[in-house]
Amino acid sequence: MTYDAELDAKGLLCPLPVLKARKRLQALQSGQVLRMEADDPAAIVDVPHFCTEAGHELMDMADSDAGQVYFIRKA
The contacts of residue 1 (CB under 8 Å, 6+ apart) are 33, 35, 59, 60, 71
Burial degree of 23 (CB within 10 A; 0-12, 13-18, 19+): exposed
pLDDT at 41: 94
Please state the domain extents for the chain.
5-61
Task: Quick: pLDDT tens for 29-60.
Answer: 999 999 999 999 999 999 999 999 999 999 99
Cα first-last separation, the chain: 18
**pLDDT category, 66, cuts 50, 70, 90?**
confident
pLDDT at 69: 98
What's the CATH fold of domain 5-61? Translation Initiation Factor IF3 (3.30.110)
Strand partners, 8: 37
Residues taking part in catalysis: 14
The contacts of residue 20 (CB under 8 Å, 6+ apart) are 7, 9, 12
